[in-house]
Structure 1
Amino acid sequence: MNVNLRELAQRGSPVELRGRLSAEASATGREDIRIVGGIDASLTARSESDTAIVDGTLSAELEFVCSKCLRTSKEKAEVPVTEMFTLQRGIAERDDDIHFVEEEVVDLSPYLREAFVVQLPMAAVCGEACKGLCPVCGKDRNAEACGCVQERLDPRFAGLKDFFDS
């Protein structure tokens, strides 16, 4: 997916961009999340003074392992994205959010993939109500109650517990 910065500035009106990015290298280093298919992009590109602004939404189907119960789940993720580009080095030096590019035609794919991956959850969960696995017996608490007793004892008071047990 490309955008020509000079043509965009000359046009003066926003340009709609739609497409699909391949996701094979998108979630590198993540064993728990996989992007199924590709990343769908629905974007608008516009020019303001000497800066091109590309914003919109990225969406993809995610397959992940829940960090609480270890079940595999699927979920659609939608991520808002805004990327800014300029051909003038001085503008990019003043603002860290603006990418300096040397070519008039910019391939948006690496910027969009990175913007999507950065917003993936650190620990994916299948749902807010997920109870996870029992730390004592390892049973899935979502499927059945295990009845294990978990005694939470402050280690600072462990000596007192021994004193009262005798």
Structure 2
Amino acid sequence: MVLINLRELYGKQDKVHLIDKLDISDIVENHPTIHHAGLAQTEVDAAYEAGNVRVNAQVLVELELICSRCLTTYEEPLDFSYTELFSNETPEEDEKSADIDDTVNYVTEDKISLVPYTKEHILLELPMFPICGEHCKGLCPTCGVNLNEEACNCTKELMDPRWSGLKDFLK
């Protein structure tokens, strides 16, 4: 678990560098398109900057996603970085309503866990509709056959019976 001690960083020029692996199995249980996830490898740099602690994180995780077209699983590596600002100085009461900085995470603890922030960014990096490949044909809407693996014998011409009277109109 990646823990950053804010009190140790305030007013110092030192950087903290951490490397850890995070278990993100609870994301898999609660997300419909993730079939399996490995451990998320995180590399974190934290430093005091202008009254806040800036955390830069690099995340690499191997995911097994479910294709939204053909419903097969495929591997998708996610490699991304994110930045968060933390402060344990609460804004003044008059600032809370008008000028609060929404880019800063105001926390009351001296030690913060980056696990929820990392999980949030993993979810934000996921494709909305994961596709196993750009040439995925998906499933036949009539019989449900995976069109990437075999062809179906469904009739392609489906006509609304209300339009059948116009079928021979131009002949």
Q: TM-score range by the shorter chain?
A: 0.7 to 0.9
Say if 1:128 and 1:25 are closer, same or farther in 2 by CA, change over 3 A. Answer: same
Structure 1 runs (4+) greater than 6 angstroms displaced? none
Amino acid at match of 1:131: K
Distance 2:165 2:81 in 1: 56
Distance 1:133 1:145 in 2: 10
Matched with 2:43 is: 42
Residues 114 and 35 of structure 1: CA distance in aligned 2, closer, same or farther (over 3 Å): farther
State the alpha-carbon separation in 2 of the partners of residues 41 and 149 from structure 1: 51
Structure-to-structure mapping, 1:116-127, within 5 angstroms: 116-127=122-133
Cα displacement (A) at 1:69: 0.8
For residue 119 of structure 1, what is the amino acid of its counterpart?
A: E
State the Cα distance separating 1:146 from its structure 2 match: 3.1
Deviation by residue 1:54-98 (Cα, 9 ceiling, x = unmatched)? 122212111122111111212211232221110111189512121
Task: Determine helix, strand or coil for the equivalent of 1:116.
Answer: helix
Percent identity reads: 33
Q: Superposition pairs for residues 82-97 of structure 1, below 5 Å?
A: 82-90=83-91, 93=96, 94-97=100-103
Q: Aligned-pair distance for 1:162? A: 2.4
Show the counterpart of 1:141.
147
C-alpha distance in structure 2 between counterparts of 1:111 and 1:144, whole Å: 43
Provide the TM-score with structure 1 as the length reference: 0.82
Q: How many residues align?
A: 163
Equivalent residue, structure 2, for 1:24: 25
Distance 2:69 2:140 in 1: 10
Structure 1, 123-132 or 31-40: larger mean CA deviation? 31-40
CA distance in 1, matches of 2:91, 2:14: 25
CA contact (8 A) 1:40 1:58 kept: yes
Task: Tell me the equivalent position of 1:11.
Answer: 12
* Distance in 2 of aligned mates of 1:53 and 1:28: 31
1:135, distance to aligned residue in structure 2 (A): 1.5
Measure how far apart 1:10 and its partner are. Answer: 3.5
Q: Tell me what 2:166 maps to.
A: 163
Distance 1:150 1:19 in 2: 53
* Long gaps (5+) in structure 1: none
Gapped regions of structure 2 (runs ≥ 5) = none
SS in 1 for 2:127: coil
Given candidates 128, 146, 149, the residue that maps to 2:134 is 128
Local SS of the residue matching 1:25: helix
The verdict on how the C-alpha distance between 1:121 and 1:47 changes in structure 2, with shifts beyond 3 A counting, is same
